[in-house]
Structure 1
Amino acid sequence: MDTRTVAVFSLGGTIAMTTDPVTGGVVPALSAHDLLAAVPALQHLDVDLRVHDFRNVPSASLGFDDLDALTEALADAFRTGCDGAVVTQGTDTIEETAYLLDLLLPGDQPVVVTGAMRNPTLPGPDGPANIHAAVIAAAAPELTGAGTVVVLGDEIHAARTVRKSHSTSPAAFTSPATGPLGRIHEGRVHLHAPLAARTTFTRPTTGAAARVGLYTATLGDDGTLLAAMAEACDGLVVAAFGVGHVPEGFVGILERAASRIPVVLASRIGNGPVLRGTYGFPGSEKDLLARGLIRAGHLDAHKARLLLHTLLRQGRTPAEITAAFATAAH
C-alpha cells in the first residue's frame, strides 16, 4: 500500500489532561504533538500525519460552533489530499460529535474519533493505544466509505450505533444493537460485515439558531415541565418509555406542540426501535404518531436531537424533516 496521509485534530478531553497544580484535578493541557509523541509506534506506520491543535477543552464544553468549524477543517483536509482523519477528544460527548460529523461529511474518507478513559497521569493510560489504533483505521482502505467511526479498545464502532455505556470502564464504548463494525489487530482493520449505507445531510445552514429540547419521560410526571420546555423550543425530542410510550397526561401537550414545531418520538432505552402501530392506548406509539409526532425509529434520543437540530438549521420544511427521519432512522 502506498503511503497514506492522515490529518489529526485534537480537541482536548481526558486523553490530553494533566494534573493542575492549583486544583489537584486533571485538566486539558497536552497538545496534539504531545499526544503523538507518546505513541512511538506511529513511526513504524507508513502514514504521513498532518497535525492540528484545534481545541483544548473538556468535551462537555464543546458546542455546535466548534463542530461546525471542525467539519469545515476536515473537509479542507480531504480537499487537500488527506486519505482519512483522526479526531481526539473527551469521551463524554464522543457518541454525539461522531454522529454529527457523520451527518455532515459526505465524502468517502473515514473520520475516526477516539479518546481515553484513563488520563495520562494514571497507570496504564489507554490514550496512546487508542491513538495508534485510530491512525491505523483512518489510513485503512477497508474503511473507505464508512463515514465517521469511533475507535477505542481496538474496536471500530459506527457513529450511528455507538454509545458510551459505562462512566469509567476502559471498555465503555459499545454498539448495543449491532456490535462493533470490526476490530484492529496485528496493525490491520478487520471488518465483521460489509459497511452499511450512509445517510448525510449537507445543505448549507440558514444561519438561524435552533433550540432543540430533549425531554425524558419518567414515572409520575404530570407534564408541567414538558409543557414549559415545549414552549421554549424550535424542535423537541421526547425520550419515551419502551417502544414509544408516554403518560396519558403528556398527550395533549405533545399534540399541541406538534402542531407548532417538529416533535420526535424516541425511546429512552437506547437499544431497539420505536414501534409504529402495536399499542393503541392514549400515549402509545400508534396514538402519538397519529397526532403528528415523528418516529425516531432506531435512533436513540441524543442522536435524534442532533439530526433534528441539523435539519432545522438547514431550514428544512416539516415534510422534509419527516422524510429525513424516515430515511435516517430505519
Structure 2
Amino acid sequence: MGTKAVAILSLGGTIAMTADPATGGVVPALSAHDLLAAVPALQGLDVELRVHDFRRLPSASLGFDDLSALADALAEAFRSGCDGAVVTQGTDTIEETAYLLDLLHPGEQPIVVTGAMRNPTLPGADGPANIHAAVIAAAAPELRGAGAVVVLGEEIHAARTVRKSHTTSPAAFTSPATGPLGRLYEGRVHLHGPLAARTTFAGPTIRAAARVGLYTATLGDDGALLAAMAEACDGLVVAAFGVGHVPEGFVAVLERAAARIPVVLASRIGNGPVLEGTYGFAGSEKDLLARGLIRGGHLDAYKARLLLHVLLGQGRNRDETAAAFALAAH
C-alpha cells in the first residue's frame, strides 16, 4: 500500500507542558518536534510525518480564530497529499475542538485529536503512547471516512459522541451514548462495527463574530440572568433539565428570544435525546418547541453550541438552522 503521509499539528496543552520555575507549575513549552522525539517507536512505523508547530497554548485559551486557522491548515495538508492528520492539544477542550473540526471536514482523511492527562514531568506520562496510537490511527484505512476522532488510552471515540468525563483520570474520555468506535492493539485499529454516517457543514464564513451563548437551567432560577444573556447573543443554547424542561419562568424569556435569534433546546445531562412530544406542561419540550425553539436532539449542549456557531457564521436563517440540527442531531 506504500508509505502513508500523516500531518502532525501541535496546539500545546498538558501533553506539551514542562515545569516553569517562575510559576511553580507546568506551562506549554514543547514543540511538535519535541513531542515526537519522545516517541522513538514512531521510527518503526511506515509513515511519513509532516510536522507543524501550530500553537503553544493551554486548550482553555484556544478560540474560534485558532480553530478556523487549524481547519484551513488541515485542508491544505490533505490537498498536499496527507492521508490523515494528528492534532495534539490540551484535554480541557478536546471534545469541542474535535467536533468543530468534524463539522468542517468533508473529506475522507481521518483527523485524530489526542492529548495527555499526565504532563511529561509526571511518572507514567501518557502523551507518548497517545501520540503513537494517534499516528497509527491517522494512517489506518479503517478510519477513512470517520471524520474527526479522539484517541486516548488506545480507545477511539467519534467526535460527535465523546466527552471528558473525569478531571484527572487517564481514562477520562468516554462516549456515554454509544461507547468507543474501537480500540488499538498490536499496532492496529480494530473497530467495533461500521462507521456511522456523518453530516458536515463546510463552507465560507460570512459572519465571523457571531456570539452564541450557553445557559444551563438550575433549580430555583427565575430567568433574569437568562434574559440578560439572551439580549447579548446572536444565538443561544439552553441546557435544559432532563429531556428538555425548564422552569416556567423561562418560558416567556425563551419565546421572546426565539422570535429574534435561533434558540436551541439541549439537555444538561449529556447522554440521551431531547424529546419532542411527550410532556405538555409550560416549560416542557413540547411547549418550548411550539414556541419556536429548535430541538437539539442527541447533541449535548456544548456540541449544539458549536454547530449553531458554524451555522450562524455561514449566514443560515432559522429554517435552515432547524433543518441542519434535524440532520446532525438525530
- The verdict on a shared fold, with TM-score over 0.5 as the criterion, is yes
Deviation at 1:203?
1.8
- Given that 2:207 and 2:312 are in contact with CA atoms closer than 8 Å, whether structure 1 keeps it comes out as no
Q: What's the counterpart of residue 56 of structure 1?
A: 56
- Listed one character per residue, the Cα deviations across residues 30-80 of structure 1 (whole Å, up to 9, x for unaligned) are 000000000000000000000000000000000000001000000000000
Structure 2 alignment gaps of length 5 or more: none
CA gap 1:207/1:263 in 2 versus in 1, 3 angstroms: closer
Q: What's the counterpart of residue 191 of structure 1?
A: 191
- Listed one character per residue, the Cα deviations across residues 258-300 of structure 1 (whole Å, up to 9, x for unaligned) are 0000000000000000001100100000000000000000000
Q: Secondary structure at the match of 2:260?
A: coil
**Distance in 1 between the 2:210 and 2:267 partners?**
22
**Distance in 1 between the 2:115 and 2:167 partners?**
14
The TM-score, its normalising length taken from structure 1, stands at 1.00
Deviation at 1:202?
1.1
Q: How large is the RMSD of aligned CA atoms in angstroms?
A: 0.5
**Distance in 2 between the 1:113 and 1:208 partners?**
24
**Distance in 2 between the 1:57 and 1:305 partners?**
22
Q: What's the counterpart of residue 212 of structure 1?
A: 212
Q: What's the counterpart of residue 31 of structure 1?
A: 31
**Distance in 1 between the 2:39 and 2:100 partners?**
28
Deviation at 1:212?
0.3
**Distance in 2 between the 1:72 and 1:208 partners?**
15
**Distance in 2 between the 1:294 and 1:207 partners?**
21
**Distance in 2 between the 1:105 and 1:147 partners?**
7
Q: What's the counterpart of residue 8 of structure 2?
A: 8
The total of aligned residue pairs comes to: 330
Deviation at 1:317?
1.1
Structural mapping, 1:1-330, within 5 Å: 1-330=1-330
- Listed one character per residue, the Cα deviations across residues 122-145 of structure 1 (whole Å, up to 9, x for unaligned) are 000000000000000000000000
Q: Which stretches of structure 1, 4 residues or more, deviate above 6 A after TM superposition? A: none
- Listed one character per residue, the Cα deviations across residues 192-240 of structure 1 (whole Å, up to 9, x for unaligned) are 0100000000121114410000000000000000000000000000000
**Distance in 1 between the 2:281 and 2:207 partners?**
41
Q: Secondary structure at the match of 2:304?
A: helix
Q: Secondary structure at the match of 1:259?
A: helix
**Distance in 2 between the 1:72 and 1:224 partners?**
40
**Distance in 2 between the 1:258 and 1:55 partners?**
37
Q: Which amino acid aligns with 1:299?
A: L
Q: Secondary structure at the match of 1:264?
A: strand
- Listed one character per residue, the Cα deviations across residues 160-179 of structure 1 (whole Å, up to 9, x for unaligned) are 00000000000000000000
Q: Which amino acid aligns with 2:23?
A: T
